[in-house]
Amino acid sequence: MPGHFCYLRASVKIWFITGTDTGAGKTVLTSLLARYLFVHGLRVAALKPICSGGRDDARRLYNAIDGSLTMDEINPWHFQAAIAPILAARREKKSVSRQAVQTHIQNWGGKSDAVLVEGAGGLLSPLGVNFNSRDLIADLKATPIIVAPDKLGVVNQLLLTLEALPAKLAARARIVLISPATPDTATGSNAGLLAESFPAKQTFTLPWLGKTFSPEEVVQRPDIRQILQRLLEM
């Protein structure tokens, strides 16, 4: 295993991948990070604790770590309706508690070298009974990674998301801008504008990888490997 990951052995790190909205690219990034750590020999817990409207995101994480966790370990709470998880759960007369989700994630911390947690929706989207991704990030003392499409209007969304985080968590957050399939007038300039309000060294950009892509193939690209390494080492 490369030396730059040795620190994970001594202290399991939890990264929480959230976004500015649904469809921001959370699963794209989580699957890449999971595969990158996995191929470096780490025991990776790539988790999507709560989802609604299908389990495609969880399945992508399952594939990224070669099925080393079961689908139910990755995604213990899943609901059929393609609406906010808390509403989908209510339709099925079920509920998800903050403590149960926190315990599930922490249990994997004791059996893993690294834990990746993918939220659902944006930072403040309700996940269960009186909790959201911000609550879980605070409970777990996780490092927040905010994913957003690199397009017009995203700087406002990112600054609002950072503002919603407790100051200590916002200070150590990372931002990942993902280029959209069709660039607009702001694509490529958002990182520079954001640097006027947020440390540039904590902002990363990823190219458009296509509607479907193989994490196994993408993490072999030198440019992608460098971005993921820098993101994880900070």
Tell me the DSSP string of 125-156: SEEETTEEHHHHHHHHTPEEEEEEESSTTHHH
Distance, CA of 26 to chain centre: 5
Give every CB contact of residue 30 below 8 A, 6+ residues apart in sequence: 17, 46, 48, 61, 64, 116, 118
Per-residue confidence band for 211, with pLDDT thresholds at 50, 70 and 90: confident
Q: Give me the catalytic one of 48, 94, 151, 211.
A: 48
Per-residue pLDDT reduced to its tens digit, 126-171: 999 999 999 999 999 999 999 999 999 999 999 999 999 999 999 9
Of the candidate ranges 31-35, 57-61, 152-156, 208-212, the one whose mean pLDDT is the lowest: 208-212
Of the candidate ranges 8-12, 107-111, 169-173, 190-194, the one whose mean pLDDT is the lowest: 8-12
Per-residue confidence band for 12, with pLDDT thresholds at 50, 70 and 90: low
Q: What is the pLDDT of residue 49?
A: 98
Residue 1 has pLDDT above 60, yes or no: no
Nearest to 120 by CA among 18, 14, 24: 18
Tokens 């200070």 sit at which residue?
171
Question: How many percent of the chain have pLDDT more than 90?
Answer: 90
Domain boundaries, the chain: 12-233
Q: What is the pLDDT of residue 233?
A: 85
Residue 179 has pLDDT above 50, yes or no: yes
For the question of residue 168 being annotated catalytic, the response is no
Angle at 199 between CA 5 and CA 190, to 5 degrees: 110
Torsion sign, CA atoms 172, 33, 83, 211: positive
Q: What is the pLDDT of residue 118?
A: 98
Give CATH superfamily name and number for 12-233.
P-loop containing nucleotide triphosphate hydrolases (3.40.50.300)
